[in-house]
């Protein structure tokens, strides 16, 4: 990315700890910079959330894993840990809830005033981006509590990307709700944030710049794609788009005939472009 030189340098370093058998992890340190995307994969119970939480809490050898997290190569100042306003990291999980029951518009205005005063135009930008992530359109008048799972996820990611000003965004298993993953990924990779996402989704896992593989509570390996997986990524994108179309039709009450599967296949192949 050519803009990188104009952005103040920011790095987050993960220093290795131990897995649940007390064995050293399969790396020394992982350095994360703005614009990087990393996926974390592994079976349930393999330590994915623990790794995300180490990053989120800026662990200093004080968690079950013994990992250390450095900011710009140093132990982060106490204010980063204690005061949310200074924290350079935002975490979105399946359980992320909005406490107040506001309308989408009220929520966004409140968030913009807190984080980006004077930039009210971000309201439309955020809602438009969210609506490219979900097939169920979100309106400004919707209640936050009335959004579906997919709408909530789409909305929170768009909000974090546009209004949230943290250089690092952590997503812990957010994909299970029918959002357009390829659009989310393209949007994430086009920005200046570093994004670390725990995922069981093949498309999201494979499109990240680095893939962290977890086992027995520790990082067992880090895979950097060499381009050999690109064909698979493109196939997965088409499968995903096709599934979304079928889901949309079912939602609208369509009954399928024996030829409709092929017709949908053609529509997908013609209408979408992937990089």
Ligand X SMILES: Nc1ncnc2c1ncn2[C@@H]1O[C@H](COP(=O)(O)OP(=O)(O)O)[C@@H](O)[C@H]1O
In the complex, the residues that contact ligand X under the rule CB under 6 A are: 18-20, 42, 44-50, 64-65, 214, 217-218
**Which of ligand X, Mg ion, none does residue 35 bind (CB under 5 to 8 Å by kind)?**
none
**Which of ligand X, Mg ion, none does residue 65 bind (CB under 5 to 8 Å by kind)?**
ligand X
- Give the range of 41-49, 57-65, 202-210, 240-248 binding Mg ion by CB under 5 A: 41-49
CB-nearer residue toward ligand X: 34 or 42:
42
CB-nearer residue toward Mg ion: 17 or 76:
17
Integer Cα distance of 84 and 30 in angstroms:
24
CB-nearer residue toward ligand X: 116 or 200:
200
CB-nearer residue toward Mg ion: 48 or 181:
48
Between β-strands 12-15 and 68-71, what pairing exists: parallel, antiparallel or unpaired? antiparallel
Cα 15 from chain centre: 22
**Which of Mg ion, ligand X, none does residue 228 bind (CB under 5 to 8 Å by kind)?**
none
In the complex, which residue's CB is closest to ligand X?
A: 217
Q: Which residue has the tokens 């200074």?
A: 86
Instruction: Establish how many alpha carbons lie within 13 A of residue 66's alpha carbon, considering only the half-sphere containing its beta carbon.
Output: 14
Angle at which helices 104-115 and 122-133 cross, to 10°? 120
Name the E strands within 66-130. 68-71, 89-93
**Please, what sign has the CA dihedral across residues 242, 246, 251, 253?**
positive
Q: Which residue has the tokens 């703005």?
A: 34
CB of 89 to ligand X, least distance (A): 17
In the complex, which residue's CB is closest to Mg ion?
A: 49
Q: How many residues bind Mg ion (CB under 5 A)?
A: 2
CB-nearer residue toward ligand X: 35 or 66:
66
**Which of Mg ion, ligand X, none does residue 151 bind (CB under 5 to 8 Å by kind)?**
none
**Which of Mg ion, ligand X, none does residue 91 bind (CB under 5 to 8 Å by kind)?**
none
CB of 167 to ligand X, least distance (A): 24
CB of 87 to Mg ion, least distance (A): 21
In the numeric block, which tokens belong to residue 123? Answer: 């309201």
- According to DSSP, residue 9 is labeled P
Should residue 49 be labelled a site residue for Mg ion when binding is judged by CB under 5 A? yes
Contact 217, 47 (CB under 8 A): yes
Integer Cα distance of 47 and 32 in angstroms:
19
Integer Cα distance of 26 and 95 in angstroms:
30
Integer Cα distance of 201 and 203 in angstroms:
6
CB of 221 to Mg ion, least distance (A): 19
CB-nearer residue toward Mg ion: 197 or 268:
197
Residues that bind Mg ion (CB under 5 A): 48-49
């Amino acid at each position: 990315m050519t803009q990188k030189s104009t952005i103040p340098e920011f790095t987050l370093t993960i220093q290795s700890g131990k897995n649940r058998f007390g064995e050293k992890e399969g790396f020394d340190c992982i350095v994360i910079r703005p614009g990087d995307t990393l996926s974390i994969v592994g079976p349930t119970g393999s330590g994915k959330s623990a790794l995300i939480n180490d990053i989120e809490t800026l662990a200093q050898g004080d968690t079950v894993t013994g990992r250390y997290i450095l900011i710009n190569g140093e132990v982060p100042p106490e204010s980063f840990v204690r005061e949310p306003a200074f924290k350079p990291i935002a975490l979105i999980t399946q359980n992320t809830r909005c406490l107040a029951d506001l309308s989408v518009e009220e929520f966004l205005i409140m968030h913009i005033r807190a984080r980006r005063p004077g930039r009210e135009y971000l309201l439309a930008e955020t809602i438009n981006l969210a609506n490219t992530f979900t097939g169920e359109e979100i309106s400004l008048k919707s209640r936050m509590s009335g959004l579906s799972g997919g709408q909530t996820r789409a909305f929170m990611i768009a909000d974090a990307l546009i209004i949230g000003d943290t250089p690092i965004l952590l997503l812990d298993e957010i994909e299970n709700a029918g959002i357009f993953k390829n659009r989310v990924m393209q949007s994430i990779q086009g920005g200046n944030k570093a994004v670390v996402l725990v995922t069981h989704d093949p498309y999201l896992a494979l499109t990240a710049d680095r893939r962290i593989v977890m086992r027995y509570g520790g990082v067992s390996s880090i895979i950097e794609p060499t381009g050999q997986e690109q064909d698979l990524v493109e196939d997965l994108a088409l499968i995903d788009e096709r599934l979304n179309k079928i889901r949309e039709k079912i939602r609208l009450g369509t009954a399928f005939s024996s030829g409709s599967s092929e017709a949908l296949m053609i529509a997908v192949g013609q209408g979408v472009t992937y990089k």
